[in-house]
Chain A
Amino acid sequence: MPIALTIKSLIKTYANDFHALKGIDLSVEEGDFFALLGSNGAGKTTMIGIVCGLLEKTTGEVNVLGLDQANNAYEIKRLIGLMPQEFNFNMFEPIEEILINQAGYHGINRTCAKAYAEVLLKRMELWDKRSDMAKSLSGGMKRRLMLARALIHKPKILILDEPSAGVDVEIRRSMWTFLKELNAEGVTIILTTHYLEEAESLCRNIAIVDKGKVIEQTSMKQLLARVSQQTLILESSEKLPEIPTTLGFLLTKLDDYLLEVVLESDINITQVLKILSEHNININHVRNAQNRLETLFLNLTSGK
């Protein structure tokens, strides 16, 4: 698979001598849905800023779809769409104008820009508000506006820095569906998020950044396989009987309707449900007690 983004030995030291990036090495394949995880201040936004041309690197190499950033800065900007973490548009501009202007900065004429802005605004459920000033939008709408703006020049790589912050559950799910569609159309998506559930459900590959370094880069599947234990909550609609102690796995009764089960790698949930059913314990609903990725992320970044 061709490589969409390669970062080699990227270092960023700010004027106040703060070392934000201490030698980042990263590689993202074309067509990937890639998660970039890290706690606040880990260096994710700085890395994205350098890739998109918002910040100057101290040293290192950035290569986008075979183009070296040092010699092809403009070409690279045409290939990347950025949805930043902070709102960064003029609040006193009408929404449609924001999109048309952004297209204009990419050299797209007004007629084409207007037509595609309509498509994006309708997809983002903002079309009715196209003439409103950006300041009148809710937080979630402003995020969707930034997503539409990032897509107005039809980039091959979409970088999303905390896209779901402040977006309600329903809109977030709708945004996920849209992002999956984009990815299926061939757009490489790089996502930073604090919602680990988001990374787990959307992304195929992942890098974990901690204190200015990539401490892990692997596939989501491989990473999650490392979690040997999984804790699940089992919910029954009937009042639970006494729980036998010789089931072969650790089961705790939380209340009359809820059980907590700890699964080791040698047993899966289907087997658990079958055994419980044999003891006349019928389970209607199963959910994670804790996100698996969250457990792993905390372990990795705390050095465990």
Chain B
Amino acid sequence: MNEYAPALLYMTDVVMVYYFLILNGVYLIISLLAFQAVYRHLLRRNYGGYAQLIRSPLTPPISVIVPAYNEEVGIALTVSNLLHLDYMRYEVIVVNDGSQDRTFAELEHAFQLYPTEVEDVGSLPTRLVRQAYKSRTHHNLTVVDKENGGKSDALNAGLNFSLHPYFCSIDADVILEPDALQSVIQPIMESDRRVIAVGGIIRVANGCRVEKGRVVEVVMSLNPLVAFQVIEYFRAFLCGRTGFSRFNALMIISGAFGTFEKDPVIAIGGYRPGTVGEDMDLVTRLHSHMRLQGDTDYAIQFIPDPVCWTEVPSNITVLSRQRRRWQKGCLEVLGQHDEMFLNPRFGALGMFAYPFLLLFEGWGVIIELLGYVLFAWSWWVGAVSTDFALAFFAAAFFCGMVLSLTGVLLGEMTPRPYPKYRQWLALTLYACLENFGYRQLTSILRILGTWDYVFHIGSWGRMERRGMAQRK
């Protein structure tokens, strides 16, 4: 056995180096494609014709569904923000998912709710709906009060009450840009394929100045943990998702903001209750549904416009819960759709996006952490020379820098960048620093998430909200 162990170690060492090369190579190519896509999108904005689009009677109305569970701190502000979007026809459906705090009372007080006989028109099974309410102040607001059943269940209840052909699911703690719905409806109306889902960039609101439910000044938080996440969000949304979207291989549209055509979502039975990554699950099932029906002329798109702002974890405990949940959700969804793996029937999704996510984003974290340990050990025993180790370390560092700086640059190109030079310089500095500690921390959290998945541990966890109303 002893004879094979070193050989195995050596092989692992080689695998890790190639893993690193392929992973970063793919990321670099995707970033390049994303750069081109963002550039084209921004050029097109110059002659976008939003005004005509919004005026048109054929522009579809949208139902905005907000599941809320224990969101008393900011729910009234969020809903008030949603009721003042620049869009012709839309309704807001807030689903109070059995909150144990004053969420419903806050809504009742702020919008003068009264019980109504409106019945759910949909067919998705959900937990018991106690009562639906309409607002005396806003005709397009509906509040659904139901027993607690989780986010997916709440979204399904909202879908049952929605009247419009498209719906936008958003988190109860986000701030939407006033033109968010315009931005997402344009690809639906003007694409040469049937667009069944659209996502946009989620920006970090921590540190920003918020007034009356609007981000009035973009400011970067001084908390390093938040700054690292700002870079991560830029990289993930602007490089990753924009790049994957070019092949119609996008597997996730953030649960914080996503717009979907209702019919295909209903056809697949809505959101799947009990899933941790309900957003990724829905998008993957939509792909699966369309492909298995033989319909390849559809698109799930991502637009590089900032559509909403959200609060990210500002301490390690909350970050840990969030990342573990994300990792668990990702592995769950990947596990449930293994039929996609290298299946040409699913196009670029099956041949590229799914295997990439499975090998590099899902299980790759184990190789990544093993890589740190084994590479250090190989260097220690002399199997890897110090020169090689340093050169490899430099390559890894610069590669990380290139990816992060591409994200930062794309962030600068899109609307509402960080206005001050010092904030941009700080971002660049954090892009260097994230390789020393933050990246390793997130890898460990992902390992813990993988552990949770393997041993079926944990649930949604709780994000501590400070409420964005106070951010002045």
Q: A and B bound?
A: no
**Which residues of A are in contact with B by a Cβ distance under 8 Å?**
none
B interface list, Cβ under 8 A from A? none
